[in-house]
Amino acid sequence: MVNWIAMLIGMLVPFFLSPFTVHHLGNVVYGIWILVVSSVSYFYLLDLGLRNAITSFVSRYHTLGVHEESKRVVSSAVWIRVAISVVIVLLAAIVALAFPHIFSVPPRLWYASRCAILLTALSLTITLCSGVPGAVLAALHRYDLLSFVNIFRAFFRAAGFVCLLRRGHGLAALAAWELVAAIVTGAALTWLCAKAFPDLRHFMRRPEREVIGKIWNYGAYAFLITMAGAVVTYMDNGIVGLFLNPIAVTFYAIAGNLILYSREAIAAMSNTFVPIASGFEAEGRISQLGRLLIRGTQASLLLSLPMVIVLFVRGRTFIGLWMGAEYAQVSGTVLQILLLNQLLTTANLTSCGIVYGMGKHKPLAMWALIEAGVNLVLSILLVRRVGLYGVAWGTCIAGVICNLFFWPRYMSKLLQISLPQYLWKAWGVTALAAVPFGIACWYQERLWAVNSLSGFFLQTAAILPLLILTASLMFWKDVTPRLRAHFSRAWSRA
């Protein structure tokens, strides 16, 4: 339950904070803030895929009861991330000097933007180092503790932003608060990790070449995948800022943020599959991995389909009510284009978690790099011809090709599942369950006018039971045994 609450809060807090931030900073300053965050986010590439490596190895060693190996992995990972943090600070200083010139920042914002770059980079280094205890907690399946920390950080960060913006502060103050939030969160994760896994106490020792080599063999390909993902996720804002202007970044980021909010919620669930898959493989339970793939994909799609359908059909109306009428047409169109790929990406997030858990992510690196390259080339070519929409189409086309043609074939071969069976059970049945909801949403948009955001949510809530009903009918064979078991336990207690 805590995990679901954390996912919900992780979506709602940024959702309500975004319009507040945009209206207080203005289109130009908000666009620069997005460019600052996007630029610093590239430094996360230097993580070298360590988080998934730590989770995978510690989960496997914990399952086998080999705690000394877990200590070796965690100790080496901490030293690696400390070294990476030093490199990030040095690179951030260089980027801070060049940033105002690259993105045509107004002279009055040069100092603030440079301070924001440095402070945001420092917060990233804290996040990377505290990611080690976070990865250990994930390996132990202590997602309840991770969820509590994420909930606290979401509210803590938002409260600081609101106070600072109301008092008229700008870029540098927001970046400073990000650093404070990172420090507090990092301290909490470290303390909770020590409590949850006492065997890791006094784990700091000199890094071992053998362990570093083992981590690198796993993390090298994860690094390439992360690098490609960063290009896909953050390069769009950079291309818009480079070829257009900071105001255009604001319009694009409004749509892009909605995509990120919905994806992060599902990704939080799919990340739980990494340690589960590692445990299944360590125990030789390969058949369980196939069932995990199908059930996990069904759950991911059932969670994401309502959001995708509503935003695609009613995106312009929603953005107009959420951010303001001036953003509805442009940002709404960008959103519709990006959603074409978002649905397929969501469908494959479960696959991604399982592949990382099994350590079978090497082929993914090649495909991820191809997707990033195609995305980059198409976005640059199309932004010159179509403007803002061209960047979105570049991202969409590259993503659809990868998600539609590579992932399903690779997973069916890896887990020895029939491709048609996998596509039908995991994708087809779930998509059919959402068709009546989509039709109802389409009629709502055309026949039921709405004048407020609360009214929009009430309209959506009014047709959600239709999705629940059709999903229950489509998955009746799976739902019935669970209901019987639930009522049996309730009856025995009575």
Q: 489 CB contacts (<8 Å, ≥6 apart)?
A: none
Query: How many residues comprise the chain?
Result: 494
Per residue in 149-188, pLDDT (tens digit) is: 888 988 999 999 999 999 989 889 999 999 999 999 989 9
Query: Average of pLDDT values for 383-391?
Result: 89
End-to-end CA gap in the chain: 24
| Tokens of residue 57, six digits | 């190895």
Per residue in 81-123, pLDDT (tens digit) is: 888 888 889 999 999 999 988 887 888 989 999 999 999 999 9
pLDDT band at 418 (very low <50, low <70, confident <90, very high): confident
Closest C-alpha to 273, from 255, 304, 299, 309: 299
The HSE-up count of residue 200 (CA atoms within 13 Å, CB side) is: 25
Query: Average of pLDDT values for 386-409?
Result: 88
What is the predicted pLDDT for the residue at 483?
40
d(CA 35, CA 12): 23
Per residue in 276-332, pLDDT (tens digit) is: 666 676 666 667 777 888 888 888 888 888 888 999 999 999 999 998 889 999 999
96 class by beta-carbon count within 10 Å (0-12 exposed, 13-18 middle, 19+ buried): buried
Residue 164 near residue 300 (C-beta atoms within 8 A): no
CA 35 → CA 113, 249, 257, 307, distances in Å? Answer: 10, 8, 13, 26
